[in-house]
Chain A
Amino acid sequence: MRIKEHPILKFNKEKKIKFIFNGQELEGYEGDTIAAALYAQGVKVLGKSLFLHRPRGFYCAIGNCSSCLMTVNGVANVKTCVTDLEEGMVVETQEGKGVIV
């Protein structure tokens, strides 16, 4: 899902980063947001809605709409569309409102 060739833009994706998504090891690149790294790996469903448990993906991708909230390193309600991916991050699909520890 990565763009290989582009007439205007160059994407400097050099340093690979390993992270865990729902127990599975995945790879992204330094400079990716969590949501972008997941999307590049084909992960579209980032969470479930509060009451009807419908699948949720990102919507605005700029930190406005809260559709991309996930649990990251045990912290609930992280806006994954604007949070940078880091080495070894543990990213989980969030069920419900999330718990503040």
Chain B
Amino acid sequence: MKQAEIVVIGGGPAGLCAAMSAAKSGAGVLIIDRNKSLGGQLVKQTHMFFGSEKQYASTRGIDIPEILLKELAKYKDKVEIKTNSTAVGFYEDGVITVLEKEDKYYKVEPKAVVVATGAYEKFLSFPNNDLPGIYGAGAVQTLMNVHGVKPGNRVLMVGAGNIGLIVSYQLMQAGVKVAAILDAAPKIGGYLVHASKIRRMGVPILTSHTVKEAIGKDFLEKAVVCKVDEKFNPIPGTEITFDVDVMCISVGLTPLNELLAMRGCRMKYVPQLSGLVPVRDENYETTVENIFVAGDASGVEEASAAMVEGYLAGLCAAAKIGYKPDDFYERRKDYMNQLNNLRSGPAARHILAGLDQIRR
């Protein structure tokens, strides 16, 4: 059995910052990530970030992993990185089981853990929603921005939140036509600055519209949409048919945190945080001692908040097992202030309402 002081599961923005923060305090850190390289979903974010300078605002998401990894390299004596490694189990006795490259399977016994496993894309119900050509918006981003492959010729984007708007713009940057963006809500969910950019490029944004059905034999050929009333019921006679070969589903993310539930952390369904999330204190420690959470796994927000949560959880996890630096309280206060600032706008009101429900 492999011993470790702090195990960080997931090497995306939250996990990398947690590892850095814990190592800075002097703790030994083991990062476990199922992908072949670290950075999580930052690797496909070609847009510039918002927030403040501390969270790399005005830097493109794709450039952030390099900055974080360079910073992390300062503590290379303290940090071990295991890529191509999936944490598949997290048991009552505190043991984590890891599958490395599909053939090596071993146990790790940590003193503390930061679970930073992120989120996954939600899906939408409509007839023929399983046809090839219907993809998560994040999947299309991966295909285009990581692999340089176009998803198709003409796309219908379902969801006018920030991801839907940003991915629509990125599709056009890749030379793909966006036929329209839909949203069942009566208002555009994403930032107006993104929506305006899309509208200026001539793409209609249809609010109060949903997908009625997808049409195609082996893959998507057409999509039928219709208007919905204030109770989200389809209004007959309002159908519009789009000739599209791709439909992007961008109806939000939901936390990916089954490992915490498996370990026995108390979980709660909180709609404002987009799903089942662990109950935790202000240090991001769950109801199981020395088990911390950070990033989208603790409730879906965005990468800036995920990074700060990572710094905070890493700092507090290290302190819990005996690595409490002299400036612990200053650092902790700084991270908490950063989080409060990020959540101060009107768009974050639902996040604050959600956080109120899981504070222990």
A contact residues vs B (CB 8 Å cutoff): 1-9, 11, 13, 31-33, 36, 39-40, 44-46, 49, 54-65, 81-82, 84
Interface residues on B, range: 35 or more
A57 CB, min distance to chain B CBs, angstroms = 3
Name the residue of chain A whose CB is nearest to the CB of B41. A62
Of B141-149, B186-194, B197-205, the one with at least 4 CB within 8 A of chain A: B141-149
B60 in complex: contacting residue of A8, A56, A57, A61, CB < 8 Å: A8
With A9-B148, A36-B149 in contact, do A55 and B135 touch (Cβ < 8 Å)? no
With A8-B60, A84-B36 in contact, do A2 and B135 touch (Cβ < 8 Å)? no
* B100 contacts chain A at the CB level, 8 A cutoff: no
Contacting pair B132 A60 (CB below 8 A): no
Name the residue of chain A whose CB is nearest to the CB of B123. A59
* B131 contacts chain A at the CB level, 8 A cutoff: yes
With A45-B218, A55-B218, A64-B120 in contact, do A2 and B148 touch (Cβ < 8 Å)? yes
Contacting pair A45 B219 (CB below 8 A): yes
Interface of A, helix, strand, loop or mixed by DSSP: loop
Residues of A near B148 (CB, < 8 A) are 2-3, 6, 9, 11, 13
Most chain A CB neighbours (cut-off 10 Å) among B46, B132, B138: B132
What is the CA–CA distance of A13 and B139 in the complex, to the nearest angstrom?
20
Contacting pair A3 B256 (CB below 8 A): no
B154 CB, min distance to chain A CBs, angstroms = 13
With A33-B147, A61-B143 in contact, do A44 and B132 touch (Cβ < 8 Å)? yes
What is the CA–CA distance of A40 and B174 in the complex, to the nearest angstrom?
14
Residues of A near B150 (CB, < 8 A) are 1-3
* B272 contacts chain A at the CB level, 8 A cutoff: no
Contacting pair B135 A59 (CB below 8 A): yes
Contacting pair A39 B139 (CB below 8 A): no
Contacting pair A61 B138 (CB below 8 A): yes
* B173 contacts chain A at the CB level, 8 A cutoff: yes
Q: Which of B190-234 contact A (CB under 8 A)?
A: 218-219
Contacting pair B35 A3 (CB below 8 A): no
B70 CB, min distance to chain A CBs, angstroms = 21
Residues of A near B123 (CB, < 8 A) are 59
B122 CB, min distance to chain A CBs, angstroms = 11
With A3-B144, A3-B175, A11-B148 in contact, do A60 and B138 touch (Cβ < 8 Å)? yes
Residues of A near B219 (CB, < 8 A) are 44-45, 55, 57
Contacting pair B147 A36 (CB below 8 A): yes
Residues of A near B120 (CB, < 8 A) are 60, 64-65
Contacting pair A63 B34 (CB below 8 A): yes
Q: Which of B109-137 contact A (CB under 8 A)?
A: 120-121, 123, 130-136
What is the CA–CA distance of A39 and B142 in the complex, to the nearest angstrom?
12
Residues of B near A82 (CB, < 8 A) are 35-36
Residues of A near B138 (CB, < 8 A) are 60-62
With A33-B147, A44-B219, A55-B219 in contact, do A61 and B135 touch (Cβ < 8 Å)? yes
Residues of A near B133 (CB, < 8 A) are 44, 57
A84 CB, min distance to chain B CBs, angstroms = 7
Contacting pair B121 A60 (CB below 8 A): yes
What is the CA–CA distance of A3 and B62 in the complex, to the nearest angstrom?
18
Q: Which 3 A-B pairs give the minimum distances between C-beta atoms?
A: A57-B132, A11-B148, A61-B139
A66 CB, min distance to chain B CBs, angstroms = 12
B334 CB, min distance to chain A CBs, angstroms = 32
Task: Pull 15 A–B residue pairs with CB atoms less than 8 Å apart, ordered by A.
Answer: A3-B148, A3-B174, A5-B175, A6-B173, A9-B46, A9-B145, A11-B148, A36-B149, A40-B149, A45-B132, A45-B218, A57-B219, A61-B135, A81-B139, A82-B36
